[in-house]
C-alpha cells in the first residue's frame, strides 16, 4: 500500500494497494512463513519495501524484530520507503526493531518533505537515498543531490524501467524502452552517467543499478541459490537454476487460460480439493506399483494439484495413462512460475 501514486510505480496489480505481505514471490500469512522463505532462499539479509512499509508500521517492526531474533544481529535488514509518513517517532520504532539501513525515496516535486531525511541522523544506522533516474529530471535530481551532499551515507540511482503496470503511463508521458529486448527506459542510462559524474566530482558515495543487474544478476543469483534447496531427487536443474520436471495433471487442473485462478478456487473449496487430492494419490499408488518406483521418485504437489516426477518416468508413464502429462520448466520460487510447458500425450 502507498499514499503516493507515482506514474513510474513498477508494482504489479497483484501487489499494489493490497494489505498483504510477500516474501520474495511468496504470499505470507504470518512471520513463520517469512522465516521459511528466508531459509529456503538461504538469505543472509532482507530488504523491506512496499508500497510504503510505514503504512503497516506495526507489522513492519514486528517482522523486522522477528528476523533479527531468528537469524541474529548479523542478518542485515534495509528498508525503503517514501517520505510521506516519515517522522521521528516512526523512525525510532524502526531503529529499535534492529533495522540496519534506511533508504528514502523522496518525491522530486515535493521539496518541502526532503528535510525529513535528516531526522534519521538521530539514530546509528546507515542512511541512503534511492531514486529512479527519470529522463528529463536532471535539474530536479541534481537539486536533490546538492541537498543531501555530505549529510547522508549513500545515493542509489536505479535505471527507470517499464513494467506491465506502468507501461501505459510511461508511454503517455512520451517514454519508450531503449530497445526491444529491454525494459530500461530510453535516456535513463545516459542521464545516470551524467549524474554519476556529478556525484563523483562531489565525492558522493553513489551506486547505479541497471535493470539488467537487477533481473539477470541479482534475481538470477537468488534463483540459483533457491534451486539448490528446492530441487527434488527427480528434478533436472539448468545452469540458470530452472527446474525441469515431469508433471501429471488431474482433469480439473490441466494448465490453460485462467489456470492459477482455477487452482485457487479449488483450494478454497474444501470438498473439491479433498476429492482431487484423493484422485491424485490413487494415481500415484497405481503408477508406483505398476512401475516399481522408489517413493522419492514421484510425489504429490498439493500446491499446484499435480503429480511431479522425473523426465524418464513421465515419458514412460505418459504412454499408458489417460491423464494429461507434461514436461515443465519452472522457477524454483515459491509460486513455481512456469517458463515452458509441453504436453506429451
Residues interacting with ligand SF4, by CB under 6 A?
2, 4-6, 9, 11, 50-52, 82, 105
C-alpha cell at 303: 500446491
Q: How far is the CB of 51 from ligand SF4 (least distance, A)?
A: 5
> Which residue(s) pair with 268 in the sheet?
none
Closest separation between CB of residue 11 and ligand SF4, Å?
A: 6
Min dist CB 10 to ligand SF4, Å, is 7
* Residue 85: CB minimum distance to ligand SF4, A: 11
Where b means 16+ CB within 10 Å and e means fewer, 138-162 reads: eeebeebbebbeeebebbbbbbbbb
Contact by Cβ (8 Å): 121, 95: no
CA-closest candidate to residue 248, choices 304, 200, 178: 304
Separation CA 314–CA 326 (nearest Å): 8
CB 130, min distance to ligand SF4, A = 10
**Strands 325-330 and 338-343: what pairing?**
antiparallel
Q: What are the backbone angles phi and psi of residue 106, rounded to the nearest 5°?
A: -75, 155
Task: Specify the residue, 15 or 262, whose C-beta has the smaller distance to ligand SF4.
Answer: 15
Output 209 or 300, the one with its CB closest to ligand SF4: 209
Helix, strand or coil for residue 187?
coil
Task: Name the residue nearer to ligand SF4 (CB basis): 83 or 317.
Answer: 83
Nearer to ligand SF4, 3 or 216 (CB): 3
CB nearer ligand SF4, residue 27 or residue 55: 55
Question: What is the distance between the terminal CA atoms of the chain, rounded to a whole angstrom?
Answer: 44
Amino acid at each position: 500500500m502507498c499514499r503516493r501514486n507515482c506514474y513510474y510505480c513498477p508494482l504489479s496489480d497483484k501487489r499494489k494497494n493490497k494489505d498483504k505481505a510477500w516474501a520474495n514471490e511468496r504470499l505470507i500469512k504470518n512471520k513463520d512463513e517469512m522465516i521459511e522463505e528466508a531459509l529456503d532462499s538461504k538469505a543472509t539479509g532482507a530488504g523491506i519495501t512496499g508500497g510504503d512499509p510505514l503504512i503497516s508500521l506495526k507489522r513492519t517492526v514486528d517482522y523486522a524484530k522477528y528476523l533479527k531474533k531468528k537469524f541474529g544481529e548479523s542478518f542485515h535488514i534495509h528498508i525503503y520507503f517514501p517520505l510521506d509518513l516519515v517522522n521521528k517517532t516512526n523512525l525510532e520504532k524502526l531503529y529499535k526493531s534492529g533495522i540496519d539501513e534506511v533508504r528514502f525515496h523522496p518525491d522530486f516535486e515535493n521539496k518541502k518533505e526532503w528535510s525529513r531525511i535528516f531526522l534519521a541522523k538521530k539514530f546509528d544506522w546507515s542512511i541512503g537515498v534511492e531514486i529512479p533516474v527519470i529522463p528529463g529530471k536532471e535539474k530536479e535530481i541534481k537539486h536533490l543531490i546538492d541537498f543531501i551532499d555530505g549529510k547522508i551515507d549513500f545515493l542509489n540511482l536505479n535505471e527507470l524501467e517499464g513494467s506491465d503496470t506502468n507501461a501505459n503511463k510511461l508511454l503517455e508521458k512520451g517514454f519508450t524502452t531503449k530497445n526491444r529486448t529491454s525494459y530500461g527506459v530510453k535516456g535513463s542510462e545516459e542521464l545516470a552517467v551524467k549524474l554519476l559524474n556529478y556525484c563523483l566530482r562531489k565525492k558522493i558515495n553513489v551506486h547505479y543499478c541497471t535493470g539488467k543487474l537487477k533481473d539477470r544478476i541479482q534475481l538470477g543469483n537468488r534463483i540459483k541459490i533457491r534451486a539448490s534447496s528446492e530441487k527434488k531427487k527427480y528434478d533436472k536443474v539448468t545452469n540458470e537454476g530452472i527446474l525441469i520436471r515431469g508433471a501429471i495433471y488431474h482433469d480439473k487442473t490441466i494448465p490453460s487460460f485462467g489456470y492459477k485462478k482455477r487452482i485457487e478456487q479449488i483450494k478454497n473449496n474444501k470438498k473439491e480439493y479433498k476429492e482431487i487430492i484423493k484422485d491424485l494419490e490413487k494415481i500415484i499408488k497405481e503408477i508406483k506399483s505398476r512401475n516399481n518406483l522408489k517413493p522419492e521418485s514421484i510425489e504429490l504437489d498439493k500446491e499446484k494439484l499435480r503429480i511431479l516426477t522425473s523426465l524418464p518416468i513421465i515419458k514412460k508413464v505418459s504412454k499408458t495413462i489417460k491423464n494429461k502429462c507434461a514436461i515443465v520448466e519452472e522457477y524454483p520460487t515459491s509460486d513455481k512460475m512456469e517458463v515452458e510447458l509441453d504436453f506429451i500425450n
